[in-house]
Amino acid sequence: MHGSETQLASTVIFGLNPMWYAAILFILTYVVIMTERINRAIVSLLAAGLMIFGGVLNQEAAVRGVDFNTIGLLIGMMVIVAITRQSGVFQYVAIWSAKKVNASPWGILAMLSVVTAVVSALLDNVTTVLLIVPVALLITEELKVKAYPYLFSMIVFSNIGGTATLIGDPPNIMIGSAVGLTFNDFVVNLAPVVAVVIAATLVPVYVIWGRNLKAAAEDRQRVMDFNEREAITDPALLKKCLAVIGVVVLSFVFARSLGLEAATIGLFGAAALLLLQCWPHNADEQSKLVTHAFTEAEWITIFFFVGLFIVVHGLDSTGALKLLADHLLALTGGDLTATAMTILWSSAVLSAFVDNIPFVATMIPLIKAMAPTFGGPEGLMPLWWALSLGACLGGNGTLIGASANLVVAGFAERAGQPIRFVPFLLMAFPMMLMSVAICTVYLYWRYL
């Protein structure tokens, strides 16, 4: 804890104990976010302000608490995706996938599930479902089959796929930034188990829905007649996007040897793509294109992160999280295996009911405080993988477990195929538990 923070933390408003003030404010922030009565960005920014006004932090300390590597990476990738979306490439992939399996309803369900998982590993989950769900609804309408199994699968597989890489899911971006883990670290350590979870999850999806999906020959022919090339609305832009995305992904792979942070790569890639898109338009056209790209970024998520980082940093600066870490270690007897399994399962179950972003933001300093017990930062690696797997896969447990779930539910509602909380829970929660059980075996076998 910095000297200025210690000094401020002893003079909290109304002479309150700084730890109690920060803890109560933190809990209230969580409760209000969970009620969803007030936009979560507003809640986190107000709470951040109260941390400073209350005297737990000063502004300098608050700014130090914001992880700008996470913020920069998120903004960079959001802008890249916003521009790439305009080319129509994601719709192209969805139609191409449907035709590759001869428009078989189960084949399309399996293909779209795998495509959703793969795209979610390279983009964030919300963007993935925003791009692929409309095409899935169009295909199911033409085939005259129920859209529900397809929408359900997209929720589940977007969360599974996002677990595999640094940029696939916000919890991974946060963990990677806080611990200094690269794109390769996530792929090497998490992609193998994610591949197993994808294959395993396709089994219950087939048993519950896949084997009963049937479509008439003429309906299948209608889908086969779709021309995926027509989905590409701007071939020149597509070439530019693919070139930039290729360089960005390669830069992530070689980030450590290049000495680059993820935010630098993401923001530079976004700036390069903006330049390629704007050149050689005049100043007015450039302003329109840049405004459109920036408008498409999810600023609610960005400012939610900024406020949340400050709130968690305030709580951490009072020593509350170190106290929690000590209690958790006392419960597990300081045993690495017991601690890893506790983090994996508690992360999964809690992330099913509360947003996994604030949960992970709280857990990061908590796990860091355990370093002395496990022989320094290197000894914490199994715990970081346990946190990532639990928080990302736990999002599949309920309809409110991840932002992508609610986005798909919104699409379903508009399409007249509503996804209800309890029926979704009864199907999805057991699948989530199965995926976490697979991760339990994997973690134990590989790291413990």
**Residue ranges in 104-234 assigned as alpha helix (H):** 105-122, 125-143, 148-162, 170-179, 183-208, 217-224
What is residue 4's predicted lDDT score, i.e. its pLDDT? 40
What is residue 380's predicted lDDT score, i.e. its pLDDT? 94
**Residues whose CB falls within 8 Å of the CB of residue 216, separated by 6 or more in sequence, listed in order:** 144
83 within 8 A of 237, measured Cβ to Cβ: yes
- Reported as a pLDDT band with limits 50, 70 and 90, residue 428 is very high
Q: Residue 228: is its pLDDT beyond 50?
A: yes
What is residue 305's predicted lDDT score, i.e. its pLDDT? 84
What is residue 338's predicted lDDT score, i.e. its pLDDT? 94
Q: Residue 2: is its pLDDT beyond 70?
A: no
CA dihedral defined by 284, 73, 190, 129, rounded to 10 degrees? -40
Q: What is the mean pLDDT of residues 105-130?
A: 89
Across the chain, mean pLDDT equals 89
Q: What is the mean pLDDT of residues 75-92?
A: 87
CA 122 to chain centre: 11
pTM of the predicted protein model? 0.82
Q: What is the mean pLDDT of residues 96-115?
A: 92
Residue with tokens 């000297």: 3
Q: What is the mean pLDDT of residues 226-237?
A: 91
**pLDDT, tens digit (0-9, with 9 covering 90-100), for 189-218:** 999 999 999 999 999 999 999 999 999 999
What is residue 10's predicted lDDT score, i.e. its pLDDT? 57
Q: Which residue has the higher pLDDT, 255 or 157?
A: 157
Q: Residue 11: is its pLDDT beyond 70?
A: no
Q: What is the mean pLDDT of residues 301-321?
A: 88
What is residue 110's predicted lDDT score, i.e. its pLDDT? 95
How many helices and strands (H and E) does the chain possess?
Answer: 23, 0
Cα(322)–Cα(358) distance, integer angstroms: 17
What is residue 176's predicted lDDT score, i.e. its pLDDT? 94
What is residue 7's predicted lDDT score, i.e. its pLDDT? 41
CA 57 to chain centre: 29
Which residue from 262, 79, 272, 268 is spatially nearest to 176, judged by alpha carbons?
262
Q: Residue 355: is its pLDDT beyond 80?
A: no
DSSP for residue 385: H
**pLDDT, tens digit (0-9, with 9 covering 90-100), for 124-175:** 787 788 788 888 888 898 899 999 999 999 999 999 999 999 988 889 999 9
Q: Residue 421: is its pLDDT beyond 90?
A: no
What is residue 284's predicted lDDT score, i.e. its pLDDT? 93
Which residue from 128, 121, 123, 130 is spatially nearest to 73, judged by alpha carbons?
123
Which residue from 149, 147, 115, 140 is spatially nearest to 129, judged by alpha carbons?
115
What is residue 82's predicted lDDT score, i.e. its pLDDT? 86
